[in-house]
Amino acid sequence: MQELRKDPMTPRSVRERMSIAEGDITKLAVDAIVNAANESLLGGGGVDGAIHRAAGPALLDECRKLGGCPTGEARITKGYRLPARHVIHTVGPVWHGGGAGEEGLLAGCYRNSLELARAHGLRAIAFPAISTGVYRFPPARAAEIAVATTAEFLAGADLPERVIFCCFGEASREAHEAALEKLD
């Protein structure tokens, strides 16, 4: 009789591929960090500005050649002076109360970023809390979408092997922890 084997992508193994860190995403030595960018990809405030400052002017030069990025999509560049080899730029939605397709667009940010990471053979990727700053997406709901979308993607993909939700502050970390607990 053949022994039954567990599916390698059980919810538990998917959960084990995700972790939470609190701190500065520009300091992470991973294959790619995700930039919560604006549609121009030419830098801005918050995470976007911090990534552009840390990466140096060559990042802006490469971003100019990309011609922007629509909300919910993603583009990849080199990491330049960052410890991360690549930056995946994604444009999150501005929160307008939830009736303008914001949740689907935010899920698209995570899904499209993960797909770029997979397509480029990247093993480790770190996300900020996309759209929760000046774009005003409710942090707890954003964390639930981030975690659920990532778990769904990882269940069907070998790469990336590791996803880090890099939170800037305790409230964001707690929201992501609560979202991860819902998977267990």
Q: What is the pLDDT of residue 12?
A: 54
SS (H, E, C) the chain: CCCCCCCCCCHHHHHHCEEEEECCHHHCCCCEEEEEECCCCCCCCHHHHHHHHHHCHHHHHHHHHHCCCCCCCEEEEECCCCCCCEEEEEECCCCCCCCCCHHHHHHHHHHHHHHHHHHCCCCEEEECCCCCCCCCCCHHHHHHHHHHHHHHHHHCCCCCCEEEEEECCHHHHHHHHHHHHCCC
The model's pTM is: 0.92
Q: Is 158 a catalytic residue?
A: no
The count of residues in the chain is 184
Residue 161 maps to a domain: yes
Task: Tell me how far apart the 2 most distant CA atoms of the chain are, in Å.
Answer: 62
Whether 123 is covered by a domain: the verdict is yes
* Domain membership flag for residue 76: yes
Q: How far apart are CA 28 and CA 15, in angstroms?
A: 20
Q: Which of 48, 61, 158, 184 is catalytic?
A: 48
In a domain, 8, yes or no: no
Between the CA of residue 81 and those of 59, 125, 150, what are the distances in Å?
9, 17, 27
Residue that wins the pLDDT comparison between 107 and 1: 107
Q: Residue 42 is part of which domain span?
A: 19-181
Asked if residue 137 belongs to a domain, the reply is yes
Give tens-digit pLDDT for 150-160. Answer: 999 999 999 99
Tell me the backbone φ, ψ of residue 2, rounded to 5 degrees: -75, 135
pLDDT, averaged across the chain: 93
Confidence class for position 6, pLDDT limits 50, 70, 90: very low
Ramachandran class of 147: left when φ > 0, alpha when ψ lies in -120 to 50, beta otherwise? alpha
How many folded domains does the chain comprise? 1
pLDDT tens for 49-105 read 999 999 999 999 999 999 999 999 999 999 999 999 999 999 999 999 999 999 999
Report if residue 11 sits inside a domain: no
Which domain CATH number covers 59? 3.40.220.10
Residue at 139 is within a domain: yes
Is 2 a member of any domain?
no
